[in-house]
Amino acid sequence: MPSPVVFPAELTFPGIAKETSNGTAVAPTLFFPFTKFDPVDDNGLLIDDANYGSMTAENGAVSGKRSAAIDQETYFLPDLAGHLLYNILGGYAVSAAVSGVFPHTFTLLNSGDGQPPAHTLTDRQGITATVGARAYAYGCLSEVTFSGNATGLVTMGCKWMTYGSAPAASAPTLATTTETVIPGWRSSVTVAAAAAKVRDWSYTIARVLTPDPLADGTQNPNSIARGDCTVSGKLTVAAQSEQPLLDMLAGTQQATVITIDNGGAAAAVRKLTATMTKAVYAGAPMIRQTPIGYSIDFKALGNTTDVGASGGRAPISLLLNNAVTTY
């Protein structure tokens, strides 16, 4: 009797790389640990439901236009974060390094066609014949969420839309990130330049995605177009006064800055600073527990401060400090 075939989930690993040409798969340049990585292919199944003179409703099927979706979650990793921010925003600049640490600025791209680069996601699961991995080209993010709380690790979660998968061009060799996780207690939030007493926080950068299927003899769409960008978030704060409620009632627009900082010095600095110059509270219900707090929902509004070289308006700008030379 032959030995049973086993593919351990523990030996799977995903990778990512920026594409030179959107839709053309490339080999991964960064492998990262994950708490969730769930790719789902969709073959756009088309059913022949014509009447064939029998008491059956479905008589045939063919594949239609293909696509795939990936639901990804991991802890905050400074090197991976840059790929995600570049993909969803598109505006990018890097300055000279300080002690080997490069400052990367990510903003909303408002020039040209407004389209950020795409990325290939590679899923090494060991099952695919010969190479053991599938590649998901033309990866576009519809959502990226950063979140932290005082007692846990800072996390990242995102949702991808991609072309339908195909076997990777070659078998990937594992070489994971060397970055370390960051505890939530090392993060901080300021509102109107004053430190906020925050228990937990999160913000989500979202992007409208519109695939463009053509009758062109291929199953993948012609493009996955990036549309409007919005930013929203949540703060849970310890009550110091009624100010959160008063700000919500007044519709006050005030700068909100959320910083993730590993506390390192010189070459060990790892930091992400998200600046939302015009944030407004959409809700601020009281949390009736001891000690009392407020659960704040906010939206970041487009403004002319949080922009890069492409100008226009943007709801957020992010400064990432890490050892990556360029994205």
> Residues 127-167: pLDDT tens digits?
999 999 999 999 999 999 999 999 999 999 999 999 999 99
The encoded tokens of residue 237 equal 């704060």
> Residues 31-53: pLDDT tens digits?
999 999 999 999 999 999 999 99
For residue 243, the SS3 value is helix
Q: Look at the chain and report how many structural domains it folds into.
A: 1
Q: Domain for residue 52, yes or no?
A: no
Alpha-carbon distance values, 318 to 108, 134, 243, 272, 303 (Å): 10, 32, 27, 7, 14
Q: What is the distance between the alpha carbons of residues 27 and 202, in angstroms, rounded to a whole number?
A: 32
Q: Domain for residue 195, yes or no?
A: yes
Q: Domain for residue 53, yes or no?
A: no
Averages of pLDDT over runs of 10 residues in the chain (327 residues) are: 91 97 97 97 97 96 97 98 98 98 98 98 97 98 98 98 98 94 98 97 98 95 97 98 98 98 98 98 97 98 98 98 98
Q: Domain for residue 38, yes or no?
A: yes
| pLDDT value at residue 11 | 96
Other CB atoms closer than 10 Å to residue 229's CB: what's the count? Answer: 22
| pLDDT value at residue 136 | 98
> Model pTM?
0.97
Say if CB 279 and CB 298 are below 8 A apart: yes
Q: Domain for residue 327, yes or no?
A: no
Residue owning tokens 């925050």? 198
Q: Domain for residue 250, yes or no?
A: yes
Domain range holding 24? Answer: 9-44+61-322
| pLDDT value at residue 2 | 84
Q: Domain for residue 300, yes or no?
A: yes
Q: What is the distance between the alpha carbons of residues 182 and 281, in angstroms, rounded to a whole number?
A: 28
Of all residues in the chain, the percent with pLDDT exceeding 90 is 99
Candidates 283, 232, 213; CA nearest to 44 is: 213
Q: Domain for residue 2, yes or no?
A: no
